[in-house]
Amino acid sequence: MTEQLHDRSVRGFASDNYSGVHPEVLAAIAAANDGHQVAYGDDVYTERLQQVFAGHFGEGVEAFPVFNGTGANVTALQSMLPRWGAVISASTAHINVDEGGAPERVGGIKLLTVPATDGKLTPELIDREAWGWGDEHRAQPLVVSITQTTELGTAYTADEVRAIADHAHERGMTLHMDGARLSNAAASLDLPLRAFTRDVGVDVLSVGGTKNGALGAEAIVVLNSEASVGLKYLRKLNMQLASKMRFTSAQLIALYGGELWIDSARHANAMARRLRDALDAGIAAGELPGLGFTQQTQSNGVFATLPAGVADRLRERFRFYDWDAARGEVRWMCSFDTSEADIDAFVVGIREELARV
């Protein structure tokens, strides 16, 4: 007998990774389970996944399913770089602050980071580190990596991505996009995936699944075959090659083979918008003393500042993370399974704790 160890009534806003697996994804795993299939990606599900991603990004792309976002990013970047290459990213990028040093320690990759107050790189910011080509004493800046949506919940427009891609390509660099929340970006921009990736110059893409209802399923999608070499070998080298890959691919087919990816992302974004709108209304009415916001709410995350002590008291009822404890900044994330009732209860909790200030 399977024992359920957690309290299903507990809800939180710490991360979209806290959510469960979407029922349609679970059903896809079960449907792929009967019988035998060839291992290591030579199965019919991984073959179908190639067709699914070709439908989103166009013919000629190649998808490599992996287990997690860190594996996707590190392996993708390795395939884009020689040993002496370096990656330019925002200082807030996941590859810089949230991957335990994996790009450096596992990938052997030098990161050249620049501050970006909204998490978004620009051509001007890139130029702070885009120099020194031919200097044997400097790691060569050969890849730019951007995150969509960013770690601060903001979204690059298609024009902004194009400007970065053109700027990078003109300087002999290629462009990687960390798309852990790619679906949320598409929902925010109201654009198909290709419109702000391949069509505007992204060369290699990490496609997220786990944060949008999958169970440990991500993919590297090569949009420009000239920008990536050796993924067939690097995926195994980095311990990201699934022996029973049909179960990873089946999840991504369930998400991206229909409308589930965009429907789930739109819902998560809408819940963040509901939270932000309710709190904005409270601030306008003078009912939420000390509450402020540090970023635009463009996807499924809300970044706020709270008076001292409020976050700790509120966390006794709802899980969420400090983002910058020194200035009282917190991050509230919504998921595909966040409900309106969850948001309304959270707003009540925030009001009650601020009333004690």
**Residue 68 burial (10 A CB sphere; 0-12, 13-18, 19+):** middle
Asked whether residue 83 falls in the same domain as residue 172, the answer is yes
* 15 assigned to some structural domain: no
Residue 1 has pLDDT above 90, yes or no: no
CATH code, 336: 3.90.1150.10
Asked whether residue 266 falls in the same domain as residue 240, the answer is no
Reported as a pLDDT band with limits 50, 70 and 90, residue 3 is confident
Residues 6+ apart with CB under 8 A from 126: 88, 114, 144, 164, 167, 168
* 27 assigned to some structural domain: no
Residue 217 has pLDDT above 90, yes or no: yes
Domain's final residue, options 233, 258, 283: 258
Nearest alpha carbon to residue 103 among 154, 52, 139, 61: 139
d(CA 112, CA 104): 11
Asked whether residue 190 falls in the same domain as residue 326, the answer is no
Number of domains in the chain: 2
Domain's final residue, options 214, 233, 258: 258
How much is the pLDDT for 49? 98
Asked whether residue 46 falls in the same domain as residue 143, the answer is yes
Tell me the pLDDT tens digit for each residue of 99-144: 999 999 999 999 999 999 999 999 999 999 999 999 999 999 999 9
Tell me the pLDDT tens digit for each residue of 233-280: 999 999 999 999 999 999 999 999 999 999 999 999 999 999 999 999
Asked whether residue 210 falls in the same domain as residue 303, the answer is no
* 6 assigned to some structural domain: no
* 17 assigned to some structural domain: no
Asked whether residue 244 falls in the same domain as residue 272, the answer is no
Q: Are the C-beta atoms of residues 169 and 162 closer than 8 Å to each other?
A: no
Reported as a pLDDT band with limits 50, 70 and 90, residue 357 is confident
CATH code, 208: 3.40.640.10
Tell me the pLDDT tens digit for each residue of 308-354: 999 999 999 999 999 999 999 999 999 999 999 999 999 999 999 99
Q: Is the entire prediction scored with pTM above 0.85?
A: yes
Asked whether residue 203 falls in the same domain as residue 350, the answer is no
Asked whether residue 338 falls in the same domain as residue 193, the answer is no
Nearest alpha carbon to residue 133 among 108, 168, 164: 168
Residue 90 has pLDDT above 80, yes or no: yes
Q: Which domain holds residue 335?
A: 261-354
* 14 assigned to some structural domain: no
How much is the pLDDT for 80? 98
